[in-house]
Amino acid sequence: METIRDIKRQGVDLKEMLADTSYGSQDNVEAAAGENVNLISPASGTRDQTDGRISLDDFQFEESGKRMRHCPSGQSPDYQRYRKNDERGTADFTETQCSGCVHRDRCIGRILRNGTRRVSWTRKQGALSHRRQYQQTTDFKEKYRSCSAIEATFSQLGNTHGGKDLRVRGFPAVHGATMMNFTTINIRRYIQHVLENIKRVPRGTSDQLSNSFFDSLSFSDRFL
């Protein structure tokens, strides 16, 4: 979280921060929240593997991970409990609730002697389940879109423009070569953007747009 503190020391009123999956652990998200920053990142790790059964990722939890909202069939727990000392929760569903469930044979819940089905989880598992479901929403995708574009840019720099294998050494030379590569990427994207717009305009006006585009690329005193 030193990065967040450095940004704040520069006087930036940081409320949200985008990060790729490598920084998307639940520990990082909670540490950022402790700095009053909402860390927007895909949840790291993979879905719980349960050999074909439904998993905790299929259950709906509150953001804190402490309470379960409902099971995959939309049933809210008949009773649930959260123990602060070991940060674990349990949710009980009655036999009546589960009798007609299509997931009955694939449920991870443990059946008690009285027929109650009990699902157990840790706080971190519940919080991760909430995040994995949230990241499928339009709201998350809209917020994370700019980060995806940034990642694509760095991927293009390294894989297409030789950013991983520069033939120069020393900060000034490396900085100059990297800036030239970024300039090349931006020019290519601009050309692609204009050409795509030309394809969408009515016939007869594309020549005028093409001339305007190439005029904008010509060197003049104002660019020197």
Model confidence over 63-72: pLDDT tens digits? Answer: 999 999 999 9
Q: Using 50, 70 and 90 to split pLDDT, how confident is the model at 210?
A: low
pLDDT at position 20: 81
- The pair of structure tokens assigned to 50 is 């349960």
Q: pLDDT tens for residues 6-38?
A: 888 888 889 988 888 888 889 999 999 999 999
The DSSP call for residue 188 is H
| 81 or 167, greater pLDDT | 81
Q: Is the pLDDT of residue 75 over 90?
A: yes
39 SS3 class: strand
Q: Using 50, 70 and 90 to split pLDDT, how confident is the model at 100?
A: confident
103: nearest Cα among 88, 123, 120, 117: 117
Q: Count CA atoms within 13 Å of residue 78 on its CB side.
A: 11
Average pLDDT estimate for 138-148 = 82
Supply the Cα-derived Rg of the chain in whole angstroms.
Answer: 26
Cα separation, 71 vs 59, in Å, equals 5
Residues in the chain: 224
Cα separation, 117 vs 196, in Å, equals 57
* C-alpha 114: how far from chain center: 42
Residue 10 identity (one-letter amino acid): Q
